[in-house]
Amino acid sequence: MKTPHRIAPLVEDGLVDTVLRQLMSGKEAMVYVVQCGDEVRCAKVYKEANKRGFHKAVDYTEGRKVKNSRQARAMAKGSRYGRQEQEAAWQHAEVDALRQLAAAGVRVPVPYDFHEGVLLMELVADEDGEPAPRLNDIELGADDARRFHTFLIRQVVRMLCAGIVHGDLSEYNILVDAAGPVIIDLPQAVDAAANNNARRMLQRDVANLADYFGQFAPELRDTRYGEEIWALYETGKLQPDSPLTGTFKADETLANLDEVMQVIEAARREEAARQARLAGLPPEED
């Protein structure tokens, strides 16, 4: 097929030999199958911000690190330069997340290069070398549904242990090759420690899995892995191999209000005494 203009720079630089065909067009990007030497790979071409269908981007970009203070100020002001930098940061987020997650043992496509807004990465293929189907395109029995669900919950745990929450995980961005599920589409991945929305997003990701696989194994809809996983994470106890039960009981112990007020009052008096010493005043009487 004719080389899309966004991929032309990769052809000129020798990173891509030929564009074989378009694979898909999504809300964030268009994906092409390309020939790179002896290998067939994917080229993901990110859509410009005003052409993307992904909403509430601010929820996902909260807490992302930037290169320097000038970049941060420009992004906060929304200047032309700031918008350009914000767009570049959005696109680089997937590359960074893929590299970090691959190192953590999460099944994601291998990223090879990122050039001119195009991500060159592994083509996840089936046994015949054709692009692997998405999870929602294959038929599942109850046993396979349970097996895939267990595997993906463990992948969510590995991601969180690496400090990342997918943020948009569903049957539409999971491919299935001969070895099982592969997680894709990560430009909206969030920093679990720096983003105030991380807990809600993780629990939504896990709920999406339970809802989808629950069509084939109804008992999965009653599991509460999201709350269980986050509770372990918050207390610093989450490990890639942490035992999980799928159950969760919130701590409903009521705080002793009298004790809380005593602590607050003691802290107030201590601060008042410190301020009095600094000002050379007599201490506050009981």
pLDDT tens digit sequence for 164-191: 999 999 999 999 999 999 999 998 899 9
Q: Which pair of tokens denotes residue 275?
A: 């301020």
Catalytic residues: 168, 185
Strands ordered across the beta sheet of 18-25: 18-25, 29-36, 39-46, 118-122, 111-115
Task: Please report the pLDDT score of residue 59 as a whole number.
Answer: 59
End-to-end Cα distance, the chain: 85
Q: What percent of the chain has pLDDT over 70?
A: 80
What three-state secondary structure class fits 172?
Answer: helix
Whether the CB-CB separation of 85 and 66 falls below 8 Å is answered with yes
Looking at every residue in the chain, the average pLDDT score rounds to: 86
Give the DSSP per-residue string, 59-103. HHHTT---S-HHHHHHHHHT-HHHHHHHHHHHHHHHHHHHHHHHH
* Helix or strand holding residue 144 (H, E): helix 142-161
Question: How many CB atoms within 10 Å of residue 58?
Answer: 8
Poorest-pLDDT segment among 6-10, 26-30, 81-85, 168-172? 81-85
Contacts (Cβ under 8 Å, ≥6 apart) of 266: none
pLDDT digits (tens, 9 = 90+) for 190-246: 999 999 999 999 999 999 999 999 999 999 999 999 999 999 999 999 999 999 999
pLDDT band at 69 (very low <50, low <70, confident <90, very high): low
Residue 269 confidence (pLDDT) = 78
Question: Do 245 and 251 meet the contact criterion of CB atoms below 8 Å apart?
Answer: no
Q: Which two tokens stand for residue 285?
A: 């009487």
Query: From the centroid of its chain, how far is CA 73?
Result: 25
Contact 1, 20 (CB under 8 A): yes
Structural contact between residues 141 and 216, judged by C-beta atoms closer than 8 angstroms: yes
